[in-house]
Copies of this chain bind each other. A is one copy, B any other.
Amino acid sequence: MQRILNKDTVSHKGEKILVKGWVYVRRDHGKLIFIDIRDRSGLLQVVFNPKVSADAHKVASDLRSEDVIEVIGKINERPEKLVNLKMGSGTVEMEATEVKILAKSAPLPFDIGKETLDVELPIQLDHRAITLRHPRVQAIFKIQSVIIDSFREYLKSQDFFEFQAPSITPAVAEGGSEVFQIGYFDYKAFLSQSPQLYKQIAMSAFERVFSVNKIFRAEPSSTTRHLTEIVSLDAEMAFIQSWTDVKDMAENVVRFILRRVEKMCKPELELLKASLPAMLLKTPTLSLTEVQQKIYEHSKRDVRGQKDLNPEDERTICEIIFKETGSDFVFVYGYPTKQKPFYVYPNPKNPEFNEGVDLLCRGVEWLSGGRRINDYNQLMKHVKEWKMDPEKISMFLDAFKYGVPPEGGFAFGAERMTMQILGLKNIREACMFPRDMDRIDKRLSLEKEDV
């Protein structure tokens, strides 16, 4: 007998079929036992009636949460007043005639049968295998997979080529304090903080490239916004006319992702009570100086001339722009050249400011990018001014000797975007197996080993 998924049972009314899954919730009403069985497609209500099958009812009477079972039974239409529209299969139920236990579960350390998982995040993470079974937790990762897929899909439609950026790197291009060191045979190596240099090399051969890869940050901070291992969505494109080509591509990617999430994740968004941010046809775009002026005019906080936006500035400008235009998004460009990495292109008309650009949404930076220097001599000049060791990035610098077109790119983190879209309070909720300075699966402070 072929297994039918719970969501497909509605097209098997009156038939005797086989379903498989986990006991999610059990309710006893007199002699009847009601079990919501969960599979990858959703829930199905199964009724065990001793008059229909005494054997099945007997087995069911010992079932508990998360036991794995297979059930054979007849799919019946539910009476109209018992229809449950929250359940995909809520117009039907199964009348069980046979049940078999495939695996027993130990008692759960907490109840996962409620609509909201009423457990502190650290405890949730201590028991990841259990919490991953909760529909709201699953919804987060389904949406995240749509975000990542959509990034890929849109860029492929724009002729971008996906390459595999390495995780092990030989040297640290920009400072070394926030990087993880690896013992690499008789040498030392480092975990990649960004595929920046590799994507520029790949771009110099393939023109348009992207990568979905892990980056690693050893920042010793345990905030709700930091992870040590992140999924970075990176893109780089050659033959741009101006930094605004990069901005437009980034805007289109984000727009495509939001549309896809809206279209493909309706039930998940509802479950999480999330509302997608509003993106206009043309996202407001301001220079850092203009942003600082606006903040000054609206809030009387004088941040004019500051070198960057702090978190409060980011919140304020997003509020102002939303009030003025209805856009949840705002691009900010033109940061002080010296404040940013050596490869960012300085504005030729005013080289003190660069052609880097950030996308803010709802008070937080979502994405960072801009035009890069493509001329070898200009790049070498910056390497010197930034006091970098050209030996450490020689493979990267060499690429620019051999003809690199005007180019730019952008990057954003999948977990950050997931967190922001869904309004999650902690980035750890947007990562299946989050790593931070206190945790790799288990809490590190519980370990006895040291280096």
Residues on A close to B: CB < 8 A? Answer: 3, 20, 22-23, 39-40, 66-68, 102-106, 108, 127-130, 132-133, 138, 141-142, 144-145, 148-149, 159, 161-170, 180-189, 191, 198, 201-202, 204-208, 213-214, 216, 218, 220, 228-229, 231, 239, 374-376, 394-396, 398-399, 401-406, 414, 431-433, 435, 437, 440-442, 444, 447, 449-451
A103 and B405 contact, CB distance less than 8 A: yes
Bound form: Cα–Cα A431–B198 in Å? 13
B220 and A185 contact, CB distance less than 8 A: yes
B205 and A133 contact, CB distance less than 8 A: yes
21 interchain pairs, CB-CB under 8 A: A22-B403, A40-B159, A40-B161, A68-B405, A105-B401, A106-B402, A129-B201, A129-B396, A129-B402, A163-B432, A165-B433, A167-B229, A168-B180, A168-B191, A168-B216, A168-B229, A181-B182, A183-B451, A184-B440, A187-B447, A188-B449
A433 partner, pick from B23, B198, B208, beta carbons under 8 A: B198
A188 and B399 contact, CB distance less than 8 A: no
Residue numbers in B under 8 Å from A133 (CB-CB): 204-205
Residue numbers in B under 8 Å from A191 (CB-CB): 167-168, 182
A403 and B105 contact, CB distance less than 8 A: yes
A405 and B206 contact, CB distance less than 8 A: no
Residue numbers in B under 8 Å from A161 (CB-CB): 40, 141-142, 145
Residue numbers in B under 8 Å from A67 (CB-CB): 403
Bound form: Cα–Cα A400–B375 in Å? 57
When C-beta atoms are compared, the residue in chain B nearest to A394 turns out to be B442
B167 and A399 contact, CB distance less than 8 A: no
Residue numbers in B under 8 Å from A170 (CB-CB): 440-442, 444, 447
Bound form: Cα–Cα A208–B177 in Å? 40
When C-beta atoms are compared, the residue in chain B nearest to A162 turns out to be B145
- The 4 A-B residue pairs with the shortest CB-CB distance, nearest first, are A129-B399, A132-B205, A105-B403, A40-B207
Bound form: Cα–Cα A401–B22 in Å? 13
A166 and B403 contact, CB distance less than 8 A: no
A145 partner, pick from B163, B213, B395, B398, beta carbons under 8 A: B163
**Chain B nearest CB: distance from A207 CB in Å?**
4
Bound form: Cα–Cα A128–B163 in Å? 14
Bound form: Cα–Cα A164–B227 in Å? 14
Bound form: Cα–Cα A22–B206 in Å? 11
**Chain B nearest CB: distance from A316 CB in Å?**
33
Residue numbers in B under 8 Å from A401 (CB-CB): 105-106
Residue numbers in B under 8 Å from A204 (CB-CB): 129, 132-133
Residue numbers in B under 8 Å from A403 (CB-CB): 22-23, 66-68, 103-105
**Chain B nearest CB: distance from A307 CB in Å?**
29
B164 and A231 contact, CB distance less than 8 A: yes
Residue numbers in B under 8 Å from A102 (CB-CB): 239, 405-406
A189 partner, pick from B20, B138, B169, B440, beta carbons under 8 A: B440
Residue numbers in B under 8 Å from A169 (CB-CB): 440-441
Residue numbers in B under 8 Å from A180 (CB-CB): 168, 182-184
B103 and A218 contact, CB distance less than 8 A: no
Bound form: Cα–Cα A396–B127 in Å? 10
B103 and A239 contact, CB distance less than 8 A: no
Known: A39-B207, A167-B167, A170-B444. 13 other contacts (CB 8 A): A40-B208, A68-B405, A103-B375, A129-B201, A129-B396, A132-B206, A133-B204, A142-B161, A164-B414, A170-B447, A180-B184, A181-B183, A187-B450
